Chain A
């Protein structure tokens, strides 16, 4: 197998579902139909085209650009309250976007970057900073990684989160300098403690402005040359003893920052580091020596040339290796994969943001609470390292425990049962009609439903058991055909629905449904 060669064949249904599971939050029946016969590259290019999302609005339909951070006369307490509500609003708005299958790729990628350049909304407080940070991420998500690193370094929310704004010539603060190397570009072991100190010195003088300033809507960052360490900075042999000359003047900070990033990128680990991290996001957790040599390294070599993100992800997700059968089901669904994937597979779209605002808020609020319980709340990673399953021992297994399995099962139970107050309402009969070629044949029905929901192939014994025990509970198979025909021909729904609903609930609690 040529690991990095492009997988050129038109995708079989299982390949297509695999691509949609990994590149986005999973397939919808409509997507599977619409993309039949396309190649991986064609589909990737379609997925990557999603337009920029609309701005989040509050319940009066106002965007953050319309709102100051509380009028000057607003009491401190009121301002805090407003901020808390609006930060939750940003998160809910993002969850709403994830429910849209056409945005799946963009949102999963945004999530990757939010988990790479972590900030925690709790620490940031001022919602304008939070939102601006998300804009920085979205703008750069498929752009150039050098530009991205520079933009995020100067991003006012990041300047606050990792104390860059407090990092001055007189009182250096190492926090951002360390994470820039350890978490954002290189990984542990490729820099020294003195490199941390020198990087912090390069970064002195950048400041976030108008944090929680109620008198202006303008938030930004700026470079203050008076707070910048204008002496030269000397790095270790990890960077060939590079010296970054101290600069004065308004452009000094930007010049030194550019040189710092370029210097970090001279390290061969810098390209590998990001490729590995994307691999753990889109492929699987463990990276064998074989994968390192045959996949990571060649991807890193080409990425190193221009640091362009889009071609890198495109090459990775359309490679022969990506479609290797040994990787099918090679992830456990993250809570967001699970939640969004379930909604999308069951074709239960979010209520309209404009027309059904009450339901939309109720649903996204409910989902936000669920992600919090499952410990994958967006913009609230437990530490600057991001969510543990993407770096820690055991990888995705960390998501799974008795509690989280229970919470997952509870969500899918609710989905099938329906919850009108949230706009959750799956009609299982029209759902199976939407993807089933012949739902009257119980074996065809179950096999096709399995194909839509599961990342791995079933055995015949499993299918038989599902048909005879779980769906039909001992009655002969032809009786299902009669039940289905009664529904199809005469509109008698009850028998069919009474068998189908518990069956779908059961399928969604199977261990195999946790695989991605």
Chain B
């Protein structure tokens, strides 16, 4: 339940300048794109890798670590247990 998943920020949507709390991003999880909140990681930038849990980015990660964690989660077959990925299945490498 406390598992967070790494993804890469594709786009940042800053809806109003006064509230960082409403800043969201389209995050790419190896092909599956989900809109998440950047409220808790206000320094995150486009192309950064972030650790995402329950719709919120919790931490900016370096790319190597992010890929390693993603590979582990794929191998452990836990990604598809997270509802958002069950609805938008992650594409296999070969399809990309």
Q: Do A and B come from one complex?
A: no
- Which residues of A are in contact with B by a Cβ distance under 8 Å? none
- Which residues of B are in contact with A by a Cβ distance under 8 Å? none
